[in-house]
């Protein structure tokens, strides 16, 4: 396994400056945003697809620092009921796949998407319970009419370009847990897998260790994000985990995203990394930062230091059996 970072967290730095920071920290790979919600601060797929010189310069800057691209990421909603948004995210996804082929990167990361409740919707609708019966009808319509047709077509497109997609399970989208991720793969194509992010599992009370084993059993573990979640026991006890308050309202939320080790102890992360090793994962542990209580620099340094220490121990055989 390699330690890397999702480079969007360095969006305020120039590309070469960000690469220097990453290399100096001893990381081995970089995940690069190409559109969608994180944006494309370092990589405009349209430009790099049409300008070979810029594409070569882009790749050279990465290679010169001994880094490898673990994935190109365009986390968007290609099923959004607003056609302007869905078309934009769809085009970004397909251009990212085309660019991945040219850069010889095998993995593109995105979300499954979430449509509205019907053809008349203006906004996405995420169904969280089966009753009243309308909810079940909406969910069935979404999968049958939108999710499965779209991703069946994209699976064919991916195959044409020799690239695979790692869907990141995320509440708010149709794929948000193991069951929905495996369903998408079975229904639409085996070049559709998972970008596993424990932070989205922790607050749903899903065990990351058990989930990694389940996803790996289906051959679908394509990429991994290192991000943590802290649960506020008191707020959760009174309000549960379905929390719609802004992420900035940390004091009153049931949970918030944290730097690795600040939501769950090192022991938990050692078990997660050990499980990745046990199931044969040889990809990147990509650090993602969305911790509102730490600066980017502090969160990156702390997360990278903890994970480097764990990976060093793993490499000398100190496995924490799960």
Q: Are 289 and 303 in contact (CB under 8 A)?
A: yes
Q: How far apart are CA 255 and CA 235, in angstroms?
A: 8
Q: Name the pLDDT band for 317 (thresholds 50, 70, 90).
A: low
Residue 322 lies in a domain: no
Q: How far apart are CA 291 and CA 286, in angstroms?
A: 15
Residue 271 lies in a domain: yes
Number of domains the chain contains: 1
Residue 320 lies in a domain: no
- Please state the rounded mean pLDDT for residues 235-243: 97
**For residue 316, pLDDT beyond 60:** no
**For residue 305, pLDDT beyond 90:** yes
Nearest residue to 2 (alpha-carbon basis) of 66, 83, 64, 59: 66
Check which CATH number belongs to the domain holding 171 and give it.
3.20.20.150
Concatenated DSSP letters of 15-46: HHHHHHHHHHTT--EEEEE-BTTTB-SS--HH
Residue 124 lies in a domain: yes
Longest dimension (CA), the chain: 58
What's the confidence (pLDDT) of residue 219? 98
Residue-number span of the structural domain to which 8 is assigned: 2-315
Global confidence as pTM? 0.96
**For residue 48, pLDDT beyond 60:** yes
- Please state the rounded mean pLDDT for residues 148-160: 98
What's the confidence (pLDDT) of residue 312? 84
The Cβ of residue 19 has, within 10 Å, a number of other Cβ atoms equal to: 20
Instruction: List pLDDT tens digits, range 97-116.
Output: 999 999 999 999 999 999 99
Tell me the average pLDDT of the chain.
96
Residue 200 lies in a domain: yes
What's the confidence (pLDDT) of residue 59? 97
Residue 263 lies in a domain: yes
What's the confidence (pLDDT) of residue 41? 80
Cross-strand bridge partners of residue 109: 73, 166
What's the confidence (pLDDT) of residue 315? 67
In Å, what is the CA distance from 224 to each residue of 43, 135, 193, 237, 277?
21, 32, 11, 30, 12
- Please state the rounded mean pLDDT for residues 175-195: 98
Residue 321 lies in a domain: no
**For residue 247, pLDDT beyond 70:** yes
What's the confidence (pLDDT) of residue 321? 54
Residue 88 lies in a domain: yes
């Amino acid at each position: 396994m390699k330690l890397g970072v999702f480079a969007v967290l360095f969006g305020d730095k120039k590309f070469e400056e960000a690469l220097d920071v990453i290399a100096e920290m001893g990381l081995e790979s970089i995940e690069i945003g190409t559109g969608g919600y994180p944006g494309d601060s370092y990589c405009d797929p349209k430009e790099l697809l049409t300008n070979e010189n810029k594409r070569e310069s882009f790749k050279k800057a990465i290679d010169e620092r001994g880094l490898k691209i673990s994935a190109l990421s365009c986390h968007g909603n290609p099923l959004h009921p607003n056609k302007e948004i869905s078309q934009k995210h769809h085009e970004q996804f397909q251009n990212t796949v085309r660019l991945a082929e040219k850069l010889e990167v095998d993995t593109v990361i995105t979300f499954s998407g979430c449509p509205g409740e019907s053809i008349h919707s203006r906004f996405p609708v995420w169904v969280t319970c089966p009753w009243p019966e309308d909810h079940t009808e909406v969910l069935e319509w979404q999968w049958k009419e939108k999710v499965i047709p779209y991703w069946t077509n994209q699976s064919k497109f991916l195959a044409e370009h020799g690239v695979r997609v790692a869907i990141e399970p995320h509440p708010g989208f149709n794929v948000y847990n193991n069951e929905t991720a495996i369903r998408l793969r079975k229904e639409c194509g085996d070049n559709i897998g998972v970008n596993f992010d424990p932070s989205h599992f922790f607050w749903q009370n899903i065990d990351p260790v058990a989930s990694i084993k389940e996803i790996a059993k289906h051959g679908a573990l394509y990429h991994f994000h290192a991000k943590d979640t802290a649960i506020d026991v008191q707020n959760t006890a009174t309000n549960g985990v379905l929390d719609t308050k802004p992420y900035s309202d940390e004091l009153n939320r049931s949970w918030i995203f944290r730097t690795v080790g600040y939501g769950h102890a090192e022991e938990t992360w050692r078990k997660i990394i050990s499980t990745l090793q046990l199931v044969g994962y040889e990809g990147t542990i990509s650090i993602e930062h969305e911790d509102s209580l730490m600066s980017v620099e502090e969160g990156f340094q702390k997360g990278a230091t903890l994970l480097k220490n764990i990976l060093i121990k793993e490499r000398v055989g100190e496995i924490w059996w799960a």
